[in-house]
Amino acid sequence: MEKIGFIGLGVMGRSMAQNLLQAGHTLFVYNRTKEKANPLLEQGAKWCASPQAVAGEADIILTMVGYPYDVEEVYFGAQGLLNAAHEGAILIDMTTSTPTLAKKIYEAAKAKKLSALDAPVSGGDIGAQKGTLTIMAGGEAAVFEAVKPIFSVLGVNIVLQGGPGAGQHTKMCNQIAIASNMIGVTEAVVYAQKAGLDPEKVLKSISAGAAGSWSLSNLVPRMLSEDYSPGFFIKHFIKDMKIALDEAEKMGLELPGLALSKKLYDALAEKGEENSGTQALIKYYME
């Protein structure tokens, strides 16, 4: 079993780390708020006081933090991984971040005789808990194959998309598809309610047909039960959409569906919903 480091124990990271621990790996963890690590520490995970301390212990280090600037700090900061990881270590950023930063990490790691992959995920809190995430990787094939057994603990749909940054580009495709879909499923619910239908019966019918989607099956039930707890934070979804729009602009590509979705979520965030789950989009239509 590998000595694995895990940095970032939020909604997704905590469950991912839990699965690695239960699979028998020695786990070294760090999070800005230590309290979030306590359930893992009680089960045998080992606490480290900084990313640098994690790098001193682990052979393979996974990071799952919030924003690109958090990734930058974890890798390049004074207490960062690149200043402390031992030769031959493998660094895997599973945060949804920018393709440009993924390439920067890859080049910096290579210069220090380290390996790096960008491997963002999809599947939300449910996928993280069940170990059924989709993992989109970018980097060298040999490194990907070396860590695939670890990825297999976390997910079931695991694909190397290409070189450095390819995983992040693929995650942008994922978020673009979800963004417009969230508008569609939410408007379907609102329409059903206004038409005097039972939304749960409507969901039973349309989720099995051509309208079916992960969001329809997993997030609409939360909408109907008024459960707005975050499987994925609105603030992080806005971050992802901004990255995708920025990348699209660089390619001379217009994405009006994505732009509209970001506009609606921005409006919700301005009203204090940034820490709600993405299914809280229905609140936009309830005003």
Of 13, 4, 68, the C-alpha closest to 37 is: 13
Direct distance between the N- and C-terminal alpha carbons of the chain, in angstroms, rounded to an integer:
53
Strands (E), 8-54: 26-30, 46-47
Active site residue 171: yes
For residue 179, what are its two tokens? 């963004």
How far does Cα 184 stand from its chain's mean position?
22
Contact 24, 78 (CB under 8 A): no
Q: How many CB atoms neighbour CB 86 within 10 A?
A: 13
- Kindly name the residue from 103, 104, 171, 262 that is annotated as catalytic: 171
- Please give the Cα distance from 39 to 45 (Å, whole number): 9
Q: Which helix (H) or strand (E) holds 41?
A: helix 38-41
- Please give the Cα distance from 214 to 216 (Å, whole number): 5
Q: Which residues are catalytic?
A: 171
